[in-house]
Structure 1
């Protein structure tokens, strides 16, 4: 008889050592020791789920679900049998859910107030993860589950339907629901005491973050006699979209804290893709700062996120993507057209009539073509287009008639076989399919235009315009068969709510903060079978902002992973968020303060160049030329390293003089001379001086010759991204990962598969160079032509600079000397006093949000 399930239950309830002692009296010490090893092995398997920042004293207790558990096995079977998930995807899901559960407190404790944060991706399956976490913690005798589901009815209803189907629907007799799809928490038929004393059933409530609703729930739980039931209850509160309304709000935040205070044993887990406000909560206050753990959810296979669409500033792992600059799916809307698509301000909103600009017409035409192409591929599921220009409902409503008119005229033209209109569509189809190659996805053959045209009439017949806002009665509803819809909306389409089959987004809405922008990006997610078809229309300014946000996201997640590897806690170290010159990180900055970020182990490089500014370019070439001249005059002999030329043992003052003189673009915040000088001076003057000597290299390739310091060098080829801003050359990546070790003896044995952190360690192990810096100069051919881009990646164009261009890359050693100086390009929470202003959104959002937060929205009560 296998007694391991019993042993595992005791280990989870009482702790491993207590379970060994207890079981030894029943099964003997030898079997207890065997089961202990097995349990420790199971714990290790769960902990392999990936990094998290975890509070000290959190005991490993969760070894995974057993086959005899009540709630998780049926849910897993549902994903396998009904959703047709494969074994790998199932294992990934369970591993990610185990990772969350393992960081909660051991459930047998008499009192605990756990606070955690799970960082996912926009539209990436966070709901599936927390549904799995709920099932697993219900198996560990959590008896009351509260899900705080955004501030709008649409998301709450969607979440309720999902949990009804995947939890209650699979175990109906073991669940009691206090809410349903059409009814938020309201007057209950039973009192709290009688419901919560049940030891057989789990109570579930899915509620909006709405003051009236939360007050009603707190009142119900505060009834006479309820305290005794609450004392014994294990309570899980899942806060979906945890950065919205939960942080620094005048009414909602205190109500959530009041709700938590009712339960002596509670675990609060916030879920969000934009945790900026959450990591800035004052950790020294009795608030919702994630003091116990912060963890990343893995990026799911096939997920389209910021990096996939927009690229990142520097791709640390080369060749990790078939389109490292991002796929060529973004189309630029001219700034001059914006005034035709949204009013300039509140005063001009009344009576505003949008113009169907050429770009908007192209976007709608592409939506019809892409939907028809999906149908030609056999995919007749939902297909949606998003138009998001303004939060003002009157402006949204003004789009209905022009869009309906466009559809009517297009349908008539298709039915009549209008050759001019069909020719326009053919040209658009050919142009777009040439820019994004369908073969990137498992060699998919692109549809012929004729096959698309055959489906187009039916698509136009089915398509309708939906205005989705809190005032509208005609909302998006995917429950009654395939939908083909152009959705015009604002806030209700900007948070949590999934736009099924989203193919085209037309987005010219203003936003002033990271979290607002990312949450409005409904185009992130999964596009199985039509990965080549999504397109996004936006302004150049918005595209550049999203490129920056791709880097912000990467750094933030890397921070979380790195802190875990160093066994640091959320109250020991703060997650840093990179700043932007014109965007706020979040409106809810809380206890945020400028973060001191070390350059240790960093590889920095110039990315932006003023290609039309002759003086700017020539001054930088002169600075590089004088550096090479000064090095040669000091008697340093050049050394060939591949195609590059190296100068070793260069004194620091020569490098410092160059860095002071070189002009960097204002968007290169990491490379501002003042910050570099502070760091280098601090290293040189510390207790263990470093950076006194440098290696300076000049990279070469096949470009036109350029003279530096009286010597001729062949320039490198670096084309620029086609960003629509001609005056600034954005080359994205100047320095290869291999150049990080250009001066080391191990350079020739460089392995491209090695991750960046291993190259950092490689420099650390080299005793001669572990305290030296590396500066690489890159003379760039002013006429650099683009090589053939990765299929479907963002287009590149010739550099076409008015003079030769010089860029540089700099590598700092990872060993930090005394007197470390810092750069201030990030923000982080002030952890002073940590132990274990009123919320605001963009000006245009306030009216809608006030209605949602403080009244009962729509038809729910």
Structure 2
């Protein structure tokens, strides 16, 4: 496809989207198709309209909320200053928004982005404000692969319009991520390619009147001593704003500090007349526990603080998708002065994800969509175990990885049949941190791909009785019927289409030691959709965009929040092929991702609640530091000596469940007898009331619940958590003297014939259980989604719905929304029936849901090295990755 034809297709799509944006009611697909045919006729376009129609449909339904901010309520700051300055000409911002529209962004999204970046700018200081010195510190919390770069680029454009003259973007710790960020900023803000071999105008710079911006970094070179020395420039030598895209390492930051101090600082070693903005992308990534000197978090963050300190007028904005950032909870990585300097004391801004975002909610939390997307890996441990060394032999790949490759080939064929042949389509494989292992995996996959290619060439046009005799064709056919039988195409159509899959299919090993580059833009220039299988480790995991990611296969076991979430490259936007996406993970990872997704959602709700209660970022910082999951990071740093550590914990807005349950029949018999006793006595004399799924006792005294939980027998691995739950219940008893008790007993469940006996809820038993005495529940969840709404009043249900609508999730109400509406603790009691023969039921379990609003109430918890090892499992340490940049 020629560049002219691609431009024509883009123009038709833009014209169609603009036309639909003005319609009062969302149009049907038929209406969009009809309008597309009309516009194509005007352009004289005779090509395939399916992609254009799909993109337009996505555009119609895509919305993004305004987000929510938490600000220092005691600060004297006017966040409306941008509306009071009539001298601002939004040249950079308007050019950027036009650039996004030309890239195919829906108009409503561009408008939303402008509104949100305007609000964030309002939280910064007016660069023309009076006063010899000021500084502002903030944090923006987004979602993995959801457009954080687009957001901070919009903020940069607006800041430049308002008068910020010097801008630094710290783009992670890897060369390929820094290069990718530089390319994006070149297009979207600088307006000229920074490639020394190709200094042409690009992106926003194609507009003849665009003022442009200066940069002292380029796609090949970070800021270093040579760049600084040969420039000889001072900041004030430029009439335009200057922007630098740098890596977060000690060498780069030291070189920049030296240049700023020697060439730009005046009396008192300060730069007094230059308003400065520093964007810290992936603010949580200071390589928490690293042994690599250049990535030492104490030194990198100290250098950031020193650079900020050179400027009399500075703003620091961290961007992260994992709010458990170092600035909140890693005391070892920060001296007191650094923590004080980088802590987001002035504002925290939570971005909303657009409605079409393919995120943790769809992949892990929504039971219906999760079931179609996520595939557990149960056969990798014997071949490429979690814990392996760089020189371990790899005898063969697990069958599940070959099945994932078959799925990917079929998915590409279906996407081609949908008219997406010119769109990129990728598969990610992340099973090892070691470069030799990554190469071995690629070699096995390459051999398999060659055999599949040969089988397809020989069989795609043959009758079914002939082609089905080939084992590789059998694998593809099985993948189709297992995964995509409902994708709207037949096997016969897919079989014929398989031959077109291999034309631009390439396998890559992506790490900082490899010279292979996943260069989608080269194919784009030729109008070709690349079909890529990318094998790698950390370079794949953090920040690098994998275009059109359709099938992911990851077998890793780290439990560090930031690393694990960043490994989730499958999050993002999947227009026209979301139903084809598959994510293959170990059961441990599925459980942990689900847990993190819940925790992240709860944190955003805490920000909203704290805003309502007029609390400050400092209060949020305290809450995050006392969040149960903060232990994984703080403890990992403090426990090398093996000592015990006492930490504060808050369960505000949290659900704590006994997801590790004992399978001993005698223990369960005692627990069910205990449940029957309390049920019979009305949990202290209360009347039971029916719900849609069992009965509820209201106004139960918390001492009764505490007594019940104390007597309820847990598995040894959960007993510590149960003790913490009881302690926390006691701490909040003065504020919440009464609670509700929900006995979950679904009408269609088995059992429940005896008086005061619950009907069972069936649960699948995953393989790889901890030991012979316990059953660990799938996704570490006991309750079904939505159980927490049982027993809520109509006004409370309406409040939860209103909260969900404010989150702009198309009205999807989650348990965190129900928890916000419920103003008291809730005890849920379950009887579980294991599915299969591995475990014999029924088994008793409980969950304790705590209301929001008690963020500053904590209990003291003592943890030791045994606890840490139990929580972290195998030591898959991201700082041992071989593809760190040196």
The TM-score normalised by the length of structure 1 is 0.76
Partners in 1 of 2:712 and 2:221 — Cα distance? 63
Partners in 1 of 2:110 and 2:736 — Cα distance? 52
The counterpart of 1:333, out of the listed 352, 357, 377, is: 377
Counterpart of 2:464? none
SS of equivalent to 2:590:
helix
The counterpart of 2:429, out of the listed 387, 390, 400, is: 387
**Alignment CA distance shift 1:291-1:370 (3 Å):** same
**Alignment CA distance shift 1:485-1:74 (3 Å):** same
Do the aligned residues in 1 keep the contact of 2:609 with 2:852 (CA within 8 Å)? Answer: no
SS of equivalent to 1:595:
strand
Counterparts of 1:524-673 in structure 2 under 5 Å? 524-574=571-621, 575-576=623-624, 578-579=627-628, 584=633, 594-597=647-650, 604=655, 606=657, 608=659, 610=661, 612-631=663-682, 654-664=704-714, 672-673=721-722
Counterpart of 1:268? 316
Do the aligned residues in 1 keep the contact of 2:228 with 2:259 (CA within 8 Å)? Answer: no
Counterparts of 1:96-495 in structure 2 under 5 Å? 96-107=116-127, 108-109=129-130, 110-169=132-191, 170-171=204-205, 173-186=211-224, 187-188=226-227, 195-198=234-237, 200-224=239-263, 226-227=265-266, 230-245=271-286, 249-276=297-324, 277-280=326-329, 284-287=336-339, 288-311=342-365, 323=367, 326-334=370-378, 337-341=380-384, 344-346=387-389, 349-350=390-391, 352-380=393-421, 381-417=423-459, 418-419=467-468, 420=470, 421-434=472-485, 438=487, 446-481=488-523, 482-495=529-542
Offset of residue 644 of structure 1 = 5.2
Once structures 1 and 2 are overlaid, which stretch shifts more, 720-729 or 483-492?
720-729
**Alignment CA distance shift 1:238-1:593 (3 Å):** farther
**Alignment CA distance shift 1:588-1:303 (3 Å):** farther
SS of equivalent to 2:484:
helix
Partners in 2 of 1:397 and 1:798 — Cα distance? 39
Offset of residue 212 of structure 1 = 2.9
Could you list the per-position Cα deviations for residues 495-541 of structure 1 after superposition, in whole angstroms to 9, with x for gaps in the alignment?
A: 11101111112211232412111111211111111101121222212
Aligned length: 737
**Alignment CA distance shift 1:259-1:743 (3 Å):** closer
Offset of residue 341 of structure 1 = 2.6
Q: What RMSD over aligned residues (CA atoms) do the two structures have, in Å?
A: 4.0
Partners in 2 of 1:533 and 1:762 — Cα distance? 36
The counterpart of 1:734, out of the listed 780, 783, 786, is: 783
**Alignment CA distance shift 1:720-1:180 (3 Å):** same
Offset of residue 53 of structure 1 = 4.0
Alignment partner of 1:52 is 2:52? no
The counterpart of 1:706, out of the listed 724, 740, 752, is: 752
Offset of residue 621 of structure 1 = 0.6
Do the aligned residues in 1 keep the contact of 2:701 with 2:737 (CA within 8 Å)? Answer: no
**Alignment CA distance shift 1:131-1:816 (3 Å):** closer
Partners in 1 of 2:298 and 2:851 — Cα distance? 47
Partners in 1 of 2:373 and 2:715 — Cα distance? 27
Do the aligned residues in 2 keep the contact of 1:291 with 1:571 (CA within 8 Å)? Answer: yes
Could you list the per-position Cα deviations for residues 372-393 of structure 1 after superposition, in whole angstroms to 9, with x for gaps in the alignment?
A: 2111111122121111111111
Alignment partner of 1:802 is 2:840? yes
Could you list the per-position Cα deviations for residues 748-780 of structure 1 after superposition, in whole angstroms to 9, with x for gaps in the alignment?
A: 99788355788778776xxxxx8xx66555556
Q: Which runs of 5+ in 1 are unaligned?
A: 1-45, 312-320, 439-445, 765-769, 784-796, 828-840, 856-861
SS of equivalent to 2:381:
helix
Higher normalized contact order (CA 8 Å, seq sep 6+, divided by chain length):
1
Partners in 2 of 1:821 and 1:377 — Cα distance? 54
**Alignment CA distance shift 1:642-1:593 (3 Å):** same
**Alignment CA distance shift 1:761-1:128 (3 Å):** closer
SS of equivalent to 2:352:
coil
**Alignment CA distance shift 1:809-1:412 (3 Å):** closer
Do the aligned residues in 1 keep the contact of 2:386 with 2:557 (CA within 8 Å)? Answer: no
Offset of residue 115 of structure 1 = 1.6
Could you list the per-position Cα deviations for residues 288-337 of structure 1 after superposition, in whole angstroms to 9, with x for gaps in the alignment?
A: 222222221111222222222111xxxxxxxxx5x4572432222225x3
Do the aligned residues in 2 keep the contact of 1:55 with 1:291 (CA within 8 Å)? Answer: no
Do the aligned residues in 1 keep the contact of 2:364 with 2:597 (CA within 8 Å)? Answer: yes
Once structures 1 and 2 are overlaid, which stretch shifts more, 189-198 or 552-561?
189-198
Do the aligned residues in 1 keep the contact of 2:628 with 2:651 (CA within 8 Å)? Answer: no
Do the aligned residues in 1 keep the contact of 2:605 with 2:816 (CA within 8 Å)? Answer: no
**Alignment CA distance shift 1:460-1:697 (3 Å):** closer
The counterpart of 2:879, out of the listed 832, 841, 845, is: 845
Offset of residue 275 of structure 1 = 3.5
Offset of residue 847 of structure 1 = 6.3
Do the aligned residues in 2 keep the contact of 1:235 with 1:263 (CA within 8 Å)? Answer: yes
Offset of residue 234 of structure 1 = 0.8
Could you list the per-position Cα deviations for residues 520-575 of structure 1 after superposition, in whole angstroms to 9, with x for gaps in the alignment?
A: 12111111111011212222122212121112211222222322222222224424
Could you list the per-position Cα deviations for residues 1-43 of structure 1 after superposition, in whole angstroms to 9, with x for gaps in the alignment?
A: xxxxxxxxxxxxxxxxxxxxxxxxxxxxxxxxxxxxxxxxxxx
Counterpart of 1:26? none
Counterpart of 1:61? 80
SS of equivalent to 2:113:
helix
Do the aligned residues in 2 keep the contact of 1:774 with 1:811 (CA within 8 Å)? Answer: yes
**Alignment CA distance shift 1:147-1:92 (3 Å):** same
SS of equivalent to 1:59:
coil
Partners in 2 of 1:185 and 1:776 — Cα distance? 57
Do the aligned residues in 2 keep the contact of 1:146 with 1:237 (CA within 8 Å)? Answer: yes
